[in-house]
Copies of this chain bind each other. A is one copy, B any other.
Amino acid sequence: MDRIRLQRHPERTSFDQEDADAILDEAMICHIAFMDGDQPIVIPTAFGRAGDLLYIHGSPLSRMMRIVGSGAPISVSVSLLDGLVLATSAFDHSMNYRSLILFGDGRIVSDPEEKRMALDAIVDHLAPGRREHLRPMTDKEVGATSVVAIPLTEVSVKIRKGPPGRTDDDWPVWTGVIPMAQVAGSPVGDVPVPDHVEELIRARSGPNRSTS
Q: Is the CB of A42 within 8 A of B46?
A: no
Q: How far is the CA of A76 from the CA of B31 in the complex (A)?
A: 10
Q: How large is the interface on A (under 10, 10 to 19, 20 to 34, 35 or more residues)?
A: 35 or more
Task: Give the shortest distance, in Å, between A142 (CB) and chain B (any CB).
Answer: 8
Partner of A99, one of B44, B61, B81: B44
Partner of A61, one of B8, B41, B88, B210: B8
Most chain B CB atoms below 10 A, which of A76, A91, A137, A175: A91
Most chain B CB atoms below 10 A, which of A33, A176, A210: A33
Give residues of chain A (19-34) contacting chain B, Cβ–Cβ below 8 Å. 28-29, 31-34
Q: How far is the CA of A83 from the CA of B133 in the complex (A)?
A: 20
- Copy number in the complex reads 2
Q: How far is the CA of A33 from the CA of B38 in the complex (A)?
A: 12
Task: Give the shortest distance, in Å, between A160 (CB) and chain B (any CB).
Answer: 11
Q: Is A152 an interface residue (CB 8 A)?
A: no
Residues of B contacting A147 with CB < 8 Å?
A: none
Give residues of chain A (148-206) contacting chain B, Cβ–Cβ below 8 Å. 163, 169, 171, 173-190, 193-194, 197, 200-201, 204-205
For A116, give the chain B residue with the smallest CB separation.
B90
Query: Given the interface contacts A32-B42, A61-B8, A79-B44, does A163 sit within 8 Å of B188 by beta carbon?
Result: yes
Residues of B contacting A212 with CB < 8 Å?
A: 185-186
Residues of B contacting A144 with CB < 8 Å?
A: 91
Query: Given the interface contacts A35-B35, A210-B185, does A8 sit within 8 Å of B62 by beta carbon?
Result: yes
Query: Which residues from chain A sit less than 8 Å from chain B, CB to CB?
Result: 3, 7-8, 28-29, 31-36, 38-44, 46, 58-59, 61-63, 73-77, 79, 81, 83-84, 86, 88-91, 93, 95, 97, 99, 101, 103, 119-120, 123, 126-127, 130-131, 133-135, 137-138, 141, 144-145, 163, 169, 171, 173-190, 193-194, 197, 200-201, 204-205, 210-212
